[in-house]
A and B are shown apart, each in its own frame.
Chain A
Amino acid sequence: MALLEIKHLSKSYAQKVLSDVNFTLEAGEVHALLGENGAGKSTMLNILGGIAKADGGEILIDGKKVIINSVQDAKNLGIGFVHQEIELCQDVTVTENIMMSNITDSSAIILDFKKLIEDSKKILEPLVGDTINPEDKVEDLSISEQQVVEIAKALSLKCRILLLDEPTAALSEKETEALFKIMEQLKKEGIGIIFISHRMEEIFNHSDRVTVLRDGFIISTRKSKDATMQELIKDMAGREISDIYPPKATNIDYSEKNVMLKVENLTDAKDRFRNINFELYKGEILGVAGLVGAGRTEIMQNIVNLRKRRTGSVTLMGENLDKYDTEKIYKSGLILLSEDRKKSGLYLEYSIGSNIISTYLEEVMTGMFVNKKKAVKLAEGMYKELGIRGNGYKQAVKSLSGGNQQKTLLAKLLAKKPKVVILDEPTRGVDVGAKADIGNHIRNLANDGIGVVIISSEMNELLGLCDRIIMIDIDGEQVPKVLHSKEFNSDTVVYYISGAYKMSGGNKNG
């Protein structure tokens, strides 16, 4: 008998989101859930977690029918949930966030904080050792540490079923490894895990079965070890996607007059990185490789003056930007898409269209007023261009799936064509089909003469999309070598960004 069985589950918001979904999870199994943005993956987990209500169908645990009407119900049934978006109490300590469910269930007048701290330490230990102090406030943690806290929070429940909605999207490599180890451990204890990720390697390496969901329908369920990439992608997209990445640029003119962005001698005021030098040429996509924590994000923030620098200067097509503030830099045509979707400002309550026009309002104004026609044209155009999947540009952003929010953010930033755009993790949490869409879009930008710099933690994306790659090693120093697309190879990149090249005297041997 299956640990969890879902029968004929259906759910509609404005449109049908889940249709007749049948799904099983065995004890001690990791069952991956794969599907495009908006396919209904999170909705399915939300129903199991008591956050959304199903319209029809039933849920069985150990063969017995259960009713899940609230988070409390789910908790009582032993269901732990790591949500797609980080939702923590920022003003509250790590311990209290992790133990929140326990505290909630208690009616103590005087809580035993010492014990709570001990307990949370025990949960954190296998994930990150003692690098996170349980008595710190969450607001002092980095995004990836916050994601660790989210996971620890779910683990604090003595759960039998664990729901993981894109837990690795915001984790560093090390933390991701630690998570997979814990998942192995939990499997041994007989816990069933539903695991969502857009990273195919993770699915192949760490799940037992994989189910593909498309437009709310279950398309297929396979043993992960028998599945092939092609099959899965076809099931997800409903079409063959032969080339995820667009063709590379040919004949780029690497001469002085074609330099769009020049960064010289950039050193962080807080020493996160030192002496960064690179040029971006017209027509190319330049990748920046490095491990999470190498300081790539900080470098880009520094370029647009969001961080203080000790030395260095930045020139955009001959115009020196050093004295400009961020707003003026953006106005000059150099923009940064930041990695943190929530903070970088989507107006969640507003429609997709309103978000798209919001950055460059002057583009759609006639005199003092917003020109409705122009606004609709821009909004509709960008909506289509980026392949956002929803009920049209009038839908509120908060009701979009995570990946489609990310596309909206891109649409918003690219509503007016900049001279150079820096994209920090542009496809985080985005499905394969959409990755292809976004990749194509970025290539079109480059072909139109817009300079593109990309940071990505996904090696395949960097190798597939970029024309050249510069590398930052783990010490925050730039690797002297710049890779051209002919030399691309993931081993080479790892060799440099891990700092291994320093030990062997600067030459790669084998």
Chain B
Amino acid sequence: MDNSKVEVIEGKQKSKNALDFLFGILKQREAFLIILVAMIFIIMGLTNKNFLKWTNISTIITSLAIDGIVVIGMTIILISGGIDLAVGSTLCLCITVAGWLMKYAGANPWLASIVGIGVAALYGVILGVLVTKLHLTHFIVSLCFMGISRGLVQIITQGQNISLVSVLGSNKAFAFLGQGNINIGSIQFPMAPVTFIIIAIITEIYVRNSAGMRKVYYTGSNENAARYSGIKIDKVKIFACVACAVLSGIAGIIHMIRFMGAATSAGTGKEMTALSAAVIGGASMNGGRGTIIGSILGLLFIILIQDAMTLSNVQPYYQEFVKYMIVLLAVSLDGISLYRANAKKK
């Protein structure tokens, strides 16, 4: 007994060889991702003159902003032990409703957006209730809603994209949220990332420290343990579903302003991006794990790979393939480090 204790302590203090060191970092997920991201920056910065140009950087941070908000939601629902495959569809339904109200019903854009987000929230409630009360799985219900919401979008729009150029043109304050720039010296810093950063900081603090969010972790980690501590696990799960859906909706509104319209295809594939980002960032499909920072770094990593490929003129046909191969690789590394940790314990 004593022997093994000593061994563990020593193992923590000094890593015996380079491999241990490498996997040590791997376990510190955020540090590992920061190193990866930094490496991409350095390599791309040295080899491609367009990479560090402001236009490119600004593209990166804008897409980080919109997808980032979705990823935050996905992380929360993953922590609770659930999953939402319909984040992209919810995003689209939200902006379709909001856009339609603005354009065809002349609604105030703020109000229309709130209604749109409300529709997203409603979906969250439905998902949560079906999962907790009827004991359906997140996977099945959200898979259905992936189609149901897209279907609703088609019905509302009759397949036509909603252009909001004129509406946004006459509502500068509203448009500012997603299109505006803050001038810092000579560069114009886009407003969307600022909105995102504010949301990210608030949720990060909340997720890390609040009693409310700790309950989500406990529920995702072991429902019985949570129940035995007096946590109302149904409530917690519904909360996570709604939080995810609402964040998808908010991401949608910024997306809508940024692209000046509600396209019927908006948000396609976002569930894949969000899910891979969160998993790379340390969230677990089994619940109980994940951090906002980790997930955002995971997303940044994915976006950078995408961007690097585009700049390096990798044919679009290859991009999807390469992107997800790299995601698979990152997830496998994770598996290996876990495996090693377990082998050590034995």
Contact = CB atoms under 8 A, between A and B. Distances in A.
A100 B229 contact: yes
Chain A interface, DSSP helix/strand/loop, else mixed: loop
A92 B222 CA distance: 10
Interface string A125-151: 000000000000000100000000000
B227 A89 contact: no
B1 A307 contact: no
Given A87-B222, A111-B210, A272 B229 contact: no
A83 interface: yes
Contacts of B229: 71, 100-101, 104, 153
Interface in B196-236: 205-206, 209-212, 214-215, 217-218, 221-222, 224-231
A97 B225 contact: yes
Interface of A: 49, 51, 70-72, 75, 81, 83, 87-92, 96-97, 100-101, 103-111, 113, 140, 153, 270-272, 293-294, 306-308, 476
Contact of A91 (B205, B221, B346): B221
A87 B224 contact: yes
B3 interface: yes
Contacts of A104: 211, 215, 218, 229-231
Nearest to A271: B3
Given A71-B228, A90-B288, A107 B221 contact: no
Contacts of A103: 211, 214-215
Contacts of B211: 103-104, 106-109, 111
Contacts of A100: 218, 225-226, 229, 231
Given A83-B228, A100-B229, A89 B218 contact: yes
Nearest to B217: A92
B212 A140 contact: no
Contacts of B7: 270
A97 B218 CA distance: 9
Contacts of A107: 211-212
B228 A293 contact: no
A166 to B, nearest CB: 15
B14 interface: no
A153 B1 CA distance: 24
Nearest to B344: A270
Contacts of A96: 214, 218
Q: Which 7 A-B pairs have the closest CB atoms?
A: A89-B221, A293-B1, A91-B288, A100-B229, A71-B230, A106-B211, A72-B230
8 contacts: A51-B228, A89-B222, A91-B288, A101-B230, A104-B218, A104-B230, A111-B214, A272-B4
Contacts of B270: none
B232 to A, nearest CB: 8
Instruction: Name the residue among A49, A51, A87, A108 with the largest chain B CB count within 10 angstroms.
Output: A87
A307 B288 CA distance: 29
B289 interface: yes
B336 to A, nearest CB: 18
Contacts of B205: 109-110
B345 interface: yes
Given A108-B211, A110-B205, A476-B3, A92 B228 contact: no
Interface string B275-306: 00000000010001100000000000000000
A103 B62 CA distance: 37
A87 B210 contact: no
Nearest to A109: B210
B243 to A, nearest CB: 15
A92 B209 contact: no
Contact of A109 (B4, B209, B217, B288): B209
Contacts of A110: 205, 209-210
Nearest to A172: B1
Contacts of A91: 217, 221, 284, 288-289
B212 A87 contact: no
A92 B288 contact: yes
Contacts of A140: 345
Contacts of B3: 270-272, 476
Nearest to B343: A308
A87 B233 CA distance: 15
Nearest to A92: B221
Interface in B36-81: none
Nearest to B290: A91
Contact of B4 (A71, A81, A88, A270): A270
Contacts of A87: 222, 224-225, 228
A353 B228 CA distance: 30
A234 B228 CA distance: 34
B288 A89 contact: yes
Nearest to A140: B345
Nearest to A273: B3
Most buried by A among B214, B215, B229: B229
Interface centre among A51, A90, A104, A270 (most CB of B within 10 A): A104
Contacts of B345: 140
A476 B345 CA distance: 18
Contacts of B214: 96, 103, 111
Nearest to B206: A109
A93 B1 CA distance: 22
Contacts of B210: 108-111
A113 B1 CA distance: 30
A103 B225 CA distance: 13
Contacts of B226: 89, 100
A109 B212 CA distance: 8
Contacts of B225: 87-89, 97, 100
A49 B227 CA distance: 11
A244 B230 CA distance: 41
Contacts of A92: 217-218, 221, 288
B337 to A, nearest CB: 14
Given A92-B221, A101-B230, A105-B230, 18 more contacts: A71-B227, A75-B230, A87-B228, A89-B288, A92-B217, A96-B214, A100-B226, A100-B231, A104-B215, A104-B229, A108-B210, A108-B211, A109-B209, A109-B211, A111-B209, A111-B210, A113-B209, A140-B345
